[in-house]
């Protein structure tokens, strides 16, 4: 049976994810993602707003599927600590693990923002073909051995922890870093699809979240990843043949 500290930690992480979801839904209903559908210059102010919004969205999207890994880490760490210090030590270690994980995902918003700004600056039909390239490239990555390797690490929390466990004060930060890198390697292409093709719209956020969770948590997740890859390649080819569909995907009417 899970100990009380593990249950409490999991509950707190779920509350954090729920709060992030409330923020994402509220922003979507208020139309805050309209900046994603129009060209704008890359500035420090716009970049900061984007990265902060990205960090909240990543907490909403990624924390639920990372919870098994984080909870298992807390339980294993507890078993290696003296009873008198277990609760505090476990709380600190899990907080460090989760914090590094979220910081890495937040930091990924910087290159995503720059790539999106560059894509939005492409004129005319070139923009639609850029969307088609993103979709097709993401689909090809979903079918690649690198995707498979990263997904296996995400789907096997115990194997990952046994393979990367290190003793010492900074172990939680190191493990959080390794897990975040594998998770980023697993999901970065889907996040590019979310931004480029989906304009970070709520429907796309929900869809990509469902795909990520299904890949990591459901039986046959590898096949779900491959099926998603095939669908993205087909969608990319379709957009290349009918460029007006790019704006439809982004929730806007074709010009």
Q: What's the confidence (pLDDT) of residue 150?
A: 96
Q: Where do the DSSP E strands lie in the chain? A: none
Give residues with Cβ within 8 angstroms of 182, minimum separation 6. Answer: 150, 153, 154, 160
Q: What's the confidence (pLDDT) of residue 174?
A: 87
Q: What's the confidence (pLDDT) of residue 107?
A: 95
Domain boundaries, the chain: 4-249
Residue located via tokens 């994810």: 17
Contact 72, 154 (CB under 8 A): no
Q: What is the pLDDT along the chain (255 residues), one digit of tens a residue?
A: 456 666 777 788 889 999 999 999 998 887 665 456 556 667 888 889 889 999 999 999 999 999 888 888 877 766 655 454 555 555 667 788 888 999 999 999 999 999 888 888 888 778 899 999 999 999 999 999 999 999 999 999 888 888 887 766 678 788 889 999 999 999 999 999 999 888 888 999 999 999 999 999 999 999 999 999 999 999 999 999 999 999 888 875 443
Contact 114, 51 (CB under 8 A): no
Give residues with Cβ within 8 angstroms of 173, minimum separation 6. Answer: 96, 97, 100
Q: What's the confidence (pLDDT) of residue 254?
A: 44
Residue 98 CA to residue 13 CA, distance in Å, equals 9
Q: What is the DSSP letter of 82?
A: -
Burial of residue 51 (number of CB atoms within 10 Å: 0-12, 13-18, 19+): middle
Tokens of 208: 């990509």
- pTM to 2 decimals? 0.87
Q: What's the confidence (pLDDT) of residue 255?
A: 38
């Amino acid at each position: 049976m899970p100990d009380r500290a593990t249950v409490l930690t999991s509950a707190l992480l779920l509350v954090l994810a729920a709060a992030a979801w409330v923020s994402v839904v509220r922003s979507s209903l208020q139309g805050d993602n309209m900046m994603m559908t129009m060209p704008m210059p890359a500035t420090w102010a716009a970049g900061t707003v984007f990265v902060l919004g990205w960090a909240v969205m990543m907490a909403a999207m990624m924390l639920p599927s990372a919870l098994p890994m984080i909870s298992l880490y807390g339980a294993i760490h507890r078993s290696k600590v003296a009873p008198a210090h277990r609760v505090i030590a476990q709380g600190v270690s899990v907080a460090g693990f989760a914090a590094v994980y979220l910081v890495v995902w937040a930091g990924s918003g910087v290159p995503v923002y720059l790539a999106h700004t560059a894509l939005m600056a492409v004129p005319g039909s070139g923009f639609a073909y850029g969307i088609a390239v993103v979709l097709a490239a993401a689909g090809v990555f979903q079918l690649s051995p690198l995707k498979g390797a990263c997904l296996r690490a995400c789907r096997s929390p115990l194997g990952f922890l046994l393979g990367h466990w290190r003793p010492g004060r900074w172990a939680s930060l190191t493990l959080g870093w390794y897990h975040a890198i594998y998770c980023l390697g697993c999901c970065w292409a889907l996040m590019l699809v979310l931004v480029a093709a989906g304009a970070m719209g709520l429907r796309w956020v929900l869809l990509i979240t469902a795909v990520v969770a299904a890949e990591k948590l459901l039986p046959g997740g590898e096949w779900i990843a491959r099926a998603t890859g095939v669908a993205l390649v087909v969608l990319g080819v379709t957009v290349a043949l009918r460029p007006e569909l790019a704006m439809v995907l982004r929730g806007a009417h074709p010009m």
